[in-house]
Amino acid sequence: MKPLRTKRLILRNWEERDRELFHEINSDPEVMRFFPMRRDRSAADAVMDRLQSEIERDGYGFAAVELAQTGECIGFVGIRKDPRILRVSPDATEIGWRLKRNLWGKGYATEAAREWLRFGFQDLSLEEIVSFAVANNTWSLAVMERIGMWHDQKGDFDHEDVPDTHPHLKRHALYRLSRADWKKKREAGA
């Protein structure tokens, strides 16, 4: 993957030096508050390896976010095709993010997500990008709205990968953005 750049960020493939951070965000109880699990180091390493391989294969994915000024990796933002989301939309590409807790509220997820939307719609010519989160995950839903996505209430669903032991995490809100709508919003300066 050729790194993408924004004003403050570098979006790139995973590197060995990112393993500690990847484990940190995947085991932090607050970061993972809307997920039914926490990952130990071995599980986090396995997921990072899979994401790294997907990026090498596809040229994009859930990529590392690095602060351009310091070189610190702060989490991930990216787009990926995941066969599990086909039930959401037949040709869906998902956008998602996860950042270190102490860097929430600084606009990094929004900034990186906007660049991934640009890449997906301009460079890959995707027709639609979707995102979803637990219905009361107001932080993630706010990012979706800031990047121009709309809530498809008819598409809300109970996530089949969430175990019955966590019923409060089952209901997910679905957000969508088409390339046509993205282009209109860009032309309007939104």
Cα gap 95→143, rounded to integer Å: 11
Q: Mean pLDDT by 10-residue block, N- to C-terminus, for the chain (190 residues)?
A: 96 97 94 85 95 96 98 97 71 92 95 98 96 94 97 91 88 95 87
Measured CA distances, 126 to 121, 147, 163 (Å):
5, 16, 32
List the domain range (segments joined by +) for residue 68. Answer: 4-187
The enclosing domain of 24 has a CATH number of 3.40.630.30
101-144 confidence digits (pLDDT tens)? 999 999 999 999 999 999 999 999 999 999 999 999 999 999 99
Taking only Cα atoms into account, the Rg of the chain, rounded to an integer number of angstroms, comes to 16
Cα gap 44→114, rounded to integer Å: 26
Predicted TM-score of the model (pTM): 0.93
Count of the separate structural domains present in the chain: 1
Cα gap 148→159, rounded to integer Å: 23
